[in-house]
Amino acid sequence: MPTVSMTVNGKSVSGDVSANTLLVDFLRETLGMTGTHVGCDTSQCGACVVHVEGKAAKSCTRLAVQCEGAAVTTIEGLASGGDLHPMQEAFRDNHGLQCGFCTPGMIMAGVDLANRRGNKLDEDTIRNELDGNICRCTGYHNIVKAIAAGAAAMDK
């Protein structure tokens, strides 16, 4: 069994994995960090989105061993201390979640979107860029609002 080491939310971690262990299973099963979710088996839904080296990645589509030495951020690592990340705050403030299952992936994708496309995001940009994240509850209306507000707040 290979051992893999990486930094997750600023902490060094390591564990024994199989060669075919997915990053999401390493996070959920080995590390017990269950904030990252699995909603499909075809890399379509985005419930599993985390950041690897600061960029959004579907953790169901990456092997744990591919992330050897990488810095990974999950939903659990987004808030700093007691303060919510502005994107988390925006989801709450705009009712951007209902059952919460897609939410970690949506928030991580939203932060990534702001990082890539700037803090002033229009509705079309958000809707197009959100192609890799499925939500069954919200109809996206409030997610779009939340990401626009969160991105704007990240500027401050």
- Work out which of 98, 115, 119, 125 binds ligand FES, going by CB under 6 A: 98
What is the contact mask toward other proteins in residues 19 to 48, using x (rule: CB under 8 A)? ---------x----xxxxxxxxxx-xx-x-
Contact 150, 144 (CB under 8 A): no
CA–CA dist 77, 27 (Å, integer): 12
Among 2, 10, 54, 100, binds other proteins (CB under 8 A): 100
DSSP code of residue 85: P
* Residue at token pair 């060094």: 12
CA-CA-CA-CA torsion sign (106, 111, 114, 117): negative
Binding of other proteins at residue 141 (CB under 8 A)? yes
Residues 49, 153: Cα–Cα separation, whole Å: 21
Give me 90's structure tokens: 């925006």
118 binds other proteins (CB under 8 A): no
**What is the rounded distance in angstroms from the CA atom of residue 102 to the CA atom of residue 90?**
15
Residue from the set 6, 17, 23, 130 that interacts with other proteins by CB under 8 A = 130
| Contact between 88 and other proteins per CB under 8 A | yes
Query: Does the protein bind ligand FES through residue 101 (CB under 6 A)?
Result: yes
**What residue ranges bind other proteins (CB under 8 A)?**
18, 28, 33-42, 44-45, 47, 74-76, 78-79, 84, 88, 91-93, 95, 97-104, 107, 123, 126-128, 130-131, 133-144
